[in-house]
Structure 1
Amino acid sequence: MSSSSGEERSEIAFFDVETTVPTQPGQRRALLEFGAILVCPRKLVELDSYSTFVRPADLSLISTMSPRSNGITPDAVVSAPPFLQISDRVYDLLHGRIWAGHNILGFDCARIREAFAEIGKPAPEPKDTIDSYTLLKRTFGRRAGDMKMATLATYFGLGQQTHRSLDDVRMNLEVLKYCAAVLLLESSLCVTAEEVEPNTAQRNPFDMGQLSDEMEESYETSSTESSEMYSVESSEMSFAVAVSDGRSDLGGFLEPDEVLTSSISASFVTFSKKIQLFHETILRLRCSHLKVWFGISTNFLDHAGRPRLNFVVNAPQSLCKVLDACDVIARNLSSDSGSSSEWWPVVHSIYRIWR
C-alpha cells in the first residue's frame, strides 16, 4: 500500500459501490462494482478516477432481478478481479481522505469495511465524511422529494441514474454543485417575504404556476424578441425572487436614477491593472427592486451536454442605462490605452433581451 502525507491527501474521495441484494434472511451482500473519483476541494473538479467490476466468491448470489445491481449478471463479473486483488488500490484511494457520497454512511462505508474484513485486511479510515443524502435532507429541504439520487438528478435535469458506480459518483458531484448554487443564490437574493411583498408570506418560490403568472404580468408589454425569450425560458426556470434591500448601512451607494451618466468617469488602478469607475467618488450601485429568475435551462449546456444552472435578471431600464454608459466609458479607456486584450462587455446581452 502506498502512503501519502496528510497534505497530499487533501482530495475528496467520492465513491460508490454496487452489491448483490439478499433474497433471503441472513444472506450477505457481495461487492459487484467499486467506483471512485478524487475531487479537488477548492475547484470541485475531478482529478482522478477508478472503477472496476468485482467478482464475488459466490456468483450465485447475483440476482439479475435486483434493482440495485442494475442487471449486473454473472457473465459481466466472471472475468473481473476478486476484491483481494483490488484491495490495495481501494485502500490507497480512500485511506486518510475525506469520503463523500450519497447515503454512504447508511450503506457504502459499511460495505467497504465488510469487504476488507472478509479478506482479513485492515479497512481504510476516512479523515472525515460527507454524506450528501444527510446533508441535503437538512439543508435543501423537501423540494426534491425523497432526496434520493435519482430524484435529485431528475429535479435538476441531469438525466437518469444508471446505478453504475462511476456514473453515480459523477452525478453525485454534479447534484452537489447544483444544490450549492441554488442555496447560495437563495441566501444572497432572498429576504423575508414581508420585505418583498406583504401579501406573499406563504408563497412557495418553487411553484411553477406562480412563476408563470409573474412572468406573464411582468412582460405582457414586452417586445417580440422578449416574448420569444419568455416562451422558451418560462417553462424551464425554477422560480422568481423579488429583492428589496431594507438595510440602512448603504451610505455611498446610489440608485440608478440618482446617477448622472455624463458624470461617470474611469481610470486605471495601477497596481491591479483594473478599471475603476467614478461618480464624484467611487461608483457604487444599489437597486432596490430586482427580479431574478434562476434554475435549470436546457438552452445552456455544460461540456458534457447537461443542462446548467442559469439566472436571469429583470433589470429596470434605469439600471441598464447606467451599466451601458459604464460599458462604453470602460471600453473607450481600454482602447485608448492601447490594450490588445479582448473586451468582455460589462453589460451582458441578457439585460438587453429582457429590457
Structure 2
Amino acid sequence: MDTASPAKWVPHPEGPEIAFFDTETTVPSRKGESYSLLEFGAILVCPKRLVEVFSYSTLIKPADLNAISVTSVRCNGISRESVGSAPTFADVADTVYAILHGRVWAGHNIVRFDCPRIKEAYAEIGRPAPEPKGLIDTLPLLTQRFGRRAGNMKMASLATYFGLGRQSHRSLDDVRMNLEVVKYCATVLFLEASLPDVLSAATPIDELPITRTDTDITTSSNETSVLVAHIEEMKLDSSNAGTAPSYTTVPIIEGSSGFSGYLEPEEVMTQHITVSTLPFGQFAKMAVYHKDVPLHLCCANLNVCFGVSTKFLDNAGRPKLNIVVEIPENLCKVLDKCDEVAHKMSQEAGSISQWRPLVKKDGYVNLPTVRLHIPTVANGDHAIYSTEMYQKESSGNIQKLVFTKVDASELDTLFIPGNMLDAFFDLDVYDYQQNAGIRLVAKRLVLHSK
C-alpha cells in the first residue's frame, strides 16, 4: 500500500518483518535551526524471502513552511507547495509508530541521520518514539563488508555501480533501491566466497556499461535463500549498531569546549585584514592578520557538499584528507578579502606561481564553497588526525571523538553531504610547485546530530 495520507491498514507493532525506511528533511540554513521532516517512506520485508509485504509513504507538512529553503528543494525536490496540503507529523505519528516499533530497522546511514530525525519528530509532539529491536545500517555495514569498490558507498554511487538507475532522493524509491543494493552486494560477496581463488574484489574485470529495466530486478528462490543468510548476519543489536568504529566518544563539560581567538565572520572588519611575511626556517612564509593579530576563523552551520576526498597524498604517502562545504555570504566576503590581499602580496614578492582562488563560486552546487583540510600527523608507527572532531546531539550535548587511527572510509561515514557542521579553521598561505593560494586548515569540526 502506497499512500500520501495515513494508511487504511497498517501492521501491528513488534512484527517479524524488517522495516526499511528513509526520511527526507529540510536543510538547516542558520545557526540553531533544526531539521523538519518532509517525507517518510518505509517498506516491510519478509526476512526469510526478502519480499516486500507492505509499503507506506507520506509527505509531511512542517510546522514552519519557511524552513523549506532553496537548498532544501535542491536536495530532494520537495517544495512548500508540495507539502502545503500534506498531513502534519502528528497526523501520521500513529502509523509511523506501528510500522517501526519493535521491528528490525534497516536503511542507509539511518544511525547517524534518520533515527535522530524520528526521535526529534516524536519529541516535538510530546510522544514516545518507536524503538527498534535491532538495527541494520547499510552504510557502515557495506563499507566494511563490500569495501570501497563502489567509491564513497553512498546510495547514489552504489546504485550506479550496480546499474540500478539514479537515486531520486524520495523516501519510498530510496528504500526500495536500498533493498536491491543489499541483495546485489550480498550476491557478489557470496559468489566471491564460493570461489575465492577465482573471484575476488581484486580480480580485474573489464567493466561494460550496465543498463537495466525494472523487470531485471528479480532474484531466484535459490539466490534469495543465500541472501537471507547474509541478511541474518547483518542484523545488529540496537546497542551495537553498525560497524564498530575506531573511535570513542568523551562527554564535554559545558563551557569547556570553547575555542578562544577564533572570530565569526561578522566580527571581522575586512579593511583590517593584512598579510605579513614571517621567517620560516631558511625561507619566508606569509600569514594573514586581522588588526595585527593572526586571523583564525569559525563559522557555524556549514552544509557538507562533498564527503572526504583522498585524491592526493602527502610526502609521507598519507592521503590529504579534505571535505567541501557551502559557506554563507558573510564568510565568503571575508575569505575573498583574504584571498585578494594575499594574492597581491604574493605578486609583489615576485612569485610566478599560479594563484588558486580560495572560494569556488561556479561549482556543482551553484553556491560558494570552500575546501576544509583535515591534516594528519605521525604518531609512532601510525598516523592520527590533528583536527579535533566532536559530535553535537540535537539536545545540545557535545562529545569529543577520540580516534585510534586514520581511516578515510570511516571518516566519510561521518561527513555525509547534507549534514551540518561548525568549523574552526586557520588560513595557511602556500606557494609550492608553481601553485599558490590559501588553504583552510580545520582545527576543530563539530558535526551536528550525530
Q: TM-score range by the shorter chain?
A: 0.5 to 0.7
For residue 56 of structure 1, report the CA deviation from its aligned partner: 0.2
Is 2:22–2:114's contact at 8 Å kept on the other side of the alignment? yes
After TM superposition, give the deviation of residue 63 of structure 1 in Å. 1.3
- Could you report, residue by residue, the CA deviation over 1:30-81 in whole angstroms, capped at 9, with x for unpaired residues? 0000000000001101000000000000000001333674221100001000
Asked if structure 1 preserves the Cα contact closer than 8 Å seen for 2:10 and 2:99, the reply is no
Listed one character per residue, the Cα deviations across residues 261-287 of structure 1 (whole Å, up to 9, x for unaligned) are xxxxxxxxxxxxxxxxxxxxxxxxxxx
Structure exhibiting the larger radius of gyration computed from Cα positions: 1
> SS state of the match for residue 51, structure 1?
strand
Take 1:46 and 1:68, find their aligned partners in 2: how far apart are those partners? 30
- 2:44 — aligned with what? 38
Query: In the TM superposition, what whole-angstrom CA distance separates every residue of 1:172-224 from its partner, at most 9, and x where no partner exists?
Result: 00000000000000000112xxxx69xxxx9931x34xx4xxxxxxxxxxxxx
SS at match of 2:19: strand
Distance 2:21 2:110 in 1: 8
Counterpart residue number, 1:63: 69
1:112 corresponds to 2:87: no
Mapping of residues 46-85 of structure 1, within 5 Å: 46-66=52-72, 69-85=75-91
The answer to which structure, 1 or 2, has the higher relative contact order (CA under 8 A, 6+ apart) is 2
Structure 2 residue aligned with 1:122, among 128, 152, 168?
128
2:140 to 129, 134, 141: 134
Whole-angstrom distance in 1 between the partners of 2:148 and 2:86:
40
Amino acid at match of 1:60: N
Aligned partners of 1:20 and 1:32 also within 8 Å = yes
User: Pairwise CA RMSD of aligned residues?
Assistant: 2.6
Q: What's the counterpart of residue 179 of structure 1?
A: 185
- C-alpha contact 1:178 1:309 (8 A) present in aligned 2: no
Superposed, 1:218-257 pairs within 5 Å as 235=208
Pairwise CA distance, 1:129: 0.4
Q: 1:105 to 1:67 in 2, by over 3 A?
A: farther
Cα drift, residue 26 of structure 1: 1.2
Identify the residue that residue 305 of structure 1 maps to in structure 2: 215
Stretches of structure 1 that go unaligned for 5 or more consecutive residues are 212-233, 237-296, 311-355
In structure 1, how many angstroms separate the alpha carbons of the residues matched to 2:96 and 2:183? 25
3-state SS, counterpart of residue 159 of structure 1 = coil
| Aligned position for 1:204 | 202
CA–CA distance in structure 1, aligned partners of residues 56 and 201 of structure 2: 45
Identity %: 58
Higher helix share: 1
Partner of 1:14: 20
Q: Is the 8 A contact 2:106 2:135 kept in 1?
A: yes
1: CA distance, partners of 2:26 / 2:35 = 5
Residue 15 of structure 1 aligns to a residue whose secondary structure is strand
Letter in 2 for 1:83: F
Change (3 A) 1:134 1:58: same
TM-score relative to the length of structure 2: 0.44
Deviation for aligned residue 1:24: 1.0
Conserved? CA contact 1:36–1:51, under 8 Å = yes
Give the Cα–Cα distance (whole angstroms) in 1 for the partners of residues 85 and 125 of structure 2.
19
Between the aligned partners of 2:159 and 2:131, the Cα distance in structure 1 is: 29
8 Å Cα contact 1:20-1:68 kept in structure 2: no
Q: After superposing the two structures, state which structure 1 stretch, 19-28 or 67-76, moved more.
A: 67-76
Aligned length: 212
Q: Whole-Å Cα distance in 2 between the matches of residues 61 and 174 of structure 1? A: 33
Q: Per-residue deviation at 1:116?
A: 0.2
